[in-house]
Structure 1
């Protein structure tokens, strides 16, 4: 277990330093399943969910896929913080769907609103073409495993 933990910490360090997030996103099953990629933008983790026909619900982006994007964005925002060395555990995710998502790539970005030693709160915004026209927001609470 110690070597697995050490390799995870090393993977985090490499992702932070080299801005190569592919190995980090590969660790998260929902990120792989929903085609969620990660890039650094404006000092935060910005996720892109690449459009695919499997992500369509009833003539719009499926709410479950959008929820996975919001959760992943919050998680990656915490993982890219310099003091995070373990995988945070989701306690709760509250999502507000604002408008239907179109059949196109979708972006999300998280912002840490509070980070203590045991619990962290992250606000997430999702949009498609225009950042000013949000399609969903979320508030996530994570247990920062000691």
Structure 2
């Protein structure tokens, strides 16, 4: 039997809930400026205010695709974090409602796993700036849960 170092790494990082290690392994997440905030029961995810993430320089406002990528990444990472075993979620469906312009300030996201079965999971994600009661977007994602072996 061959030992795959990627599986060992995933098992180790999952055992410690090492979201930062997972983000370090995703170049796109690093480019956008996504990072975990806090730890424990329900960490938040943060999108740093980077000028290269601006979509409308007249407002200025973050690009909608950046906001969506941030929320999608947060939701998938949260699925990896809360799972009983190290599984890799594969996105099936993603829907987002943009509620207001996202200014170029720190953006936070909170994820809620609404269903996690043996093979499928549903996640709800809310993103806001400065006031959680005034979200900039809400998203829902559905993912297939795959063991790292296959």
Corresponding residue of 1:2: 4
1:42–1:136 distance in 2 versus 1, CA, 3 Å: farther
Q: What is the CA distance between 1:22 and its match in structure 2?
A: 2.3
Instruction: Tell me, yes or no, if structure 1 residue 12 matches structure 2 residue 10.
Output: no
Corresponding residue of 1:96: 97
The number of residues matched between the two structures is 142
CA distance in 1, matches of 2:26, 2:140: 19
Q: What is the CA distance between 1:21 and its match in structure 2?
A: 3.4
Q: CA RMSD in A?
A: 1.6
Secondary structure of 1:144's aligned partner: strand
TM-score by length of 2: 0.87
Q: Deviation above 6 Å: which 4+ runs of structure 1? A: none
Corresponding residue of 2:43: 45
TM-score by length of 1: 0.90
Q: Which moved more, 1:30-39 or 1:97-106?
A: 30-39
1:84–1:97 distance in 2 versus 1, CA, 3 Å: farther
Instruction: Tell me, yes or no, if structure 1 residue 35 matches structure 2 residue 33.
Output: yes
Is the 2:112–2:123 contact (alpha carbons within 8 Å) kept by the matching residues of 1?
Answer: yes
Extract unaligned runs of 5+ from structure 1.
Answer: none
Secondary structure of 1:88's aligned partner: strand
Instruction: Tell me, yes or no, if structure 1 residue 144 matches structure 2 residue 142.
Output: no
Corresponding residue of 2:63: 62
CA distance in 2, matches of 1:102, 1:6: 40
Q: Which moved more, 1:108-117 or 1:3-12?
A: 3-12
Q: What is the CA distance between 1:3 and its match in structure 2?
A: 2.5
CA distance in 2, matches of 1:68, 1:48: 12
**Residue 23 of structure 1 is aligned with which of 3, 7, 21?**
21
Extract unaligned runs of 5+ from structure 2.
Answer: none
Larger Cα Rg: Structure 1 or Structure 2?
Answer: 2
Is the 1:49–1:107 contact (alpha carbons within 8 Å) kept by the matching residues of 2?
Answer: yes
